[in-house]
Amino acid sequence: MEREIGFYLKKIFQTMEKNLNKDLEDIDLTGMQAHVLIYLYKNRKNIINQRDIEREFELTNPTVNGILKRLENKGFIKRVVSLNDARNKEIMITDKSISLIVEMKKKAKNMENKMTSGITKEELNTFYQVIKKMFNNVQGGN
Give the model's pLDDT for residue 142.
52
Number of structural domains the chain divides into:
1
The predicted model scores a pTM of 0.77
- Is residue 117 within 8 Å of residue 109, measured between CB atoms? no
Band (pLDDT 50/70/90 cuts) for residue 111 is: confident
94: left (phi over 0), alpha (psi -120 to 50) or beta: beta
Say which CATH number the domain at 62 has.
1.10.10.10
CB count, 10 Å around CB of 120? 9
* pLDDT for the residue numbered 119: 96
Task: Please tell me the distance from the alpha carbon of residue 56 to that of residue 44, in angstroms, as a whole number.
Answer: 15
Residue 116: inside a domain = no
Residue 92 in contact with residue 40, Cβ under 8 Å?
Answer: yes
Instruction: Tell me, yes or no, whether 79 lies in a domain.
Output: yes
- Assign 141 a pLDDT band (cuts: 50, 70, 90): low
* Domain boundaries, position 85: 32-107
